Amino acid sequence: MPRPKAKIDLAEVEKLCSMQSTDEEIAAWFGVTARTIARRRRERAFREAMERGRAKGRISVRRMQMKLLEPGNATMGVWLGKQVLGQTEPGNQPKWQNENGRSPMFSITVPVSLPAPKKIPPAPGNGKPTRMRVKSLQFNRLPLLPSGDPS
């Protein structure tokens, strides 16, 4: 005999989803597993209750954002402009776009002719190249400027 079906109130599910609760949180509220919530989501009424609740939650968040925007919260204005209106920062805009609205990616190869490398003449003497020793370079410390001097 199969186990009895867990009683889950759809109105409660909708309220929990309006608060953007995860499946694990909803399962813990009703004392079932997250797998049970995933399985119940296959049922039309359960799925619609979850979708309605999540939609109400998004509307609530958007309403609060608009309230923050009204008194002149510039950060919220920029964020909403990017999210809702598709606005971007001036430095992030592509210079040109193809028919899909994306900037094309390609590379250009330019042929360049370089002069042939010069041959190093052999050192005077036996005709064999010799190694040169380079003395270590020393740098003098520059004097520190007074803190008030702008130059």
Over residues 28-53, the pLDDT tens digits come to 999 999 999 999 999 999 999 999 99
* Other residues' Cβ atoms within 10 Å of the Cβ of residue 65: 16
Query: Does residue 30 lie within any of the structural domains?
Result: yes
Output the pTM of the full model. 0.51
Query: Does residue 110 lie within any of the structural domains?
Result: no
Distance between CA 123 and CA 7 in Å, rounded? 96
pLDDT of 85? 73
Query: Does residue 122 lie within any of the structural domains?
Result: no
Question: What domain range includes position 22?
Answer: 10-89
* Other residues' Cβ atoms within 10 Å of the Cβ of residue 47: 13
- In this predicted structure, the answer to whether residue 151 has a pLDDT above a threshold of 60 is no
pLDDT in tens, 100-138: 666 655 555 556 666 666 776 666 666 565 565 655 555
Query: Does residue 127 lie within any of the structural domains?
Result: no
Q: What is the mean pLDDT of the chain?
A: 77
- In this predicted structure, the answer to whether residue 21 has a pLDDT above a threshold of 80 is yes
Query: Does residue 139 lie within any of the structural domains?
Result: no
Query: Does residue 85 lie within any of the structural domains?
Result: yes
pLDDT of 93? 56
Lowest pLDDT segment from 14-23, 25-34, 96-105:
96-105
Give the chain's domain count.
1
pLDDT of 22? 94
- In this predicted structure, the answer to whether residue 98 has a pLDDT above a threshold of 70 is no
Angle at 90 between CA 61 and CA 64, to 5 degrees: 10
